Chain A
């Protein structure tokens, strides 16, 4: 089945540790995105990538890092510099960045204690 997969669904980490969230797609999409969702805040863009080996900061990139070494993969690292990392993280992909629908993964709920 074609789709976008995020793993794990739930993740717990101790404060001060870096953690990497996985996002894989087999839709052959060029564009990929990471969003953070907090209650009442909607979806806020962390990073996005239009093509392999290229990515751009979104609106709340501080404390996060990404890589795009393969077309199908766009992992997100939440670093210890992120002040408030507990949130629901959503990965999405689209054929192109402009004017095309985004397909979302199931999300990863990260809790930092």
Chain B
């Protein structure tokens, strides 16, 4: 079935450093969503990207959707301890099916 590959699996940074996680699909995605899961919590929706080449910003977070709509990235500028958690990308299943398929996530830890 549809696979959404996410790298890296883990990332440890010093507070103030930047962080980027990447999401790749073997097929074109109609849209991609990003979620954040705090330790011990549940995933919370951050954003959805729909258009080719789309870039959206939320304060220190920048989300991009590739021109071919097969990859996406989340970049955090000047990380803070509140950014700790696991970041997931998610997209529709293969063939535009009604599934919502998640990547394995990138676990971010921030050293104060």
Contacts and interface: CB of A to CB of B under 8 A. Distances in A.
B80 interface: no
Interface in A10-51: 31, 33, 35, 40-45, 48, 50
Nearest to A56: B98
A42 B42 contact: no
A35 B102 CA distance: 10
Interface residues of A, number: 27
Nearest to A106: B42
B8 to A, nearest CB: 12
B48 A40 contact: no
Contacts of B90: 43, 102
- The main secondary structure of chain A at its interface with chain B is strand
Interface stretch (A65-73, A75-83, A93-101): A93-101
Interface residues on B, range: 20 to 34
Interface in B72-112: 88, 90, 92, 96, 98-105
A61 to B, nearest CB: 12
A101 B48 contact: yes
Interface in B36-67: 41-45, 48, 50
A20 B50 CA distance: 36
Interface of B: 1, 6, 9, 30-31, 33, 35, 41-45, 48, 50, 88, 90, 92, 96, 98-105
List of 6 A-B pairs having minimum Cβ-Cβ separation, nearest first? A42-B104, A97-B98, A43-B102, A101-B45, A104-B42, A42-B105
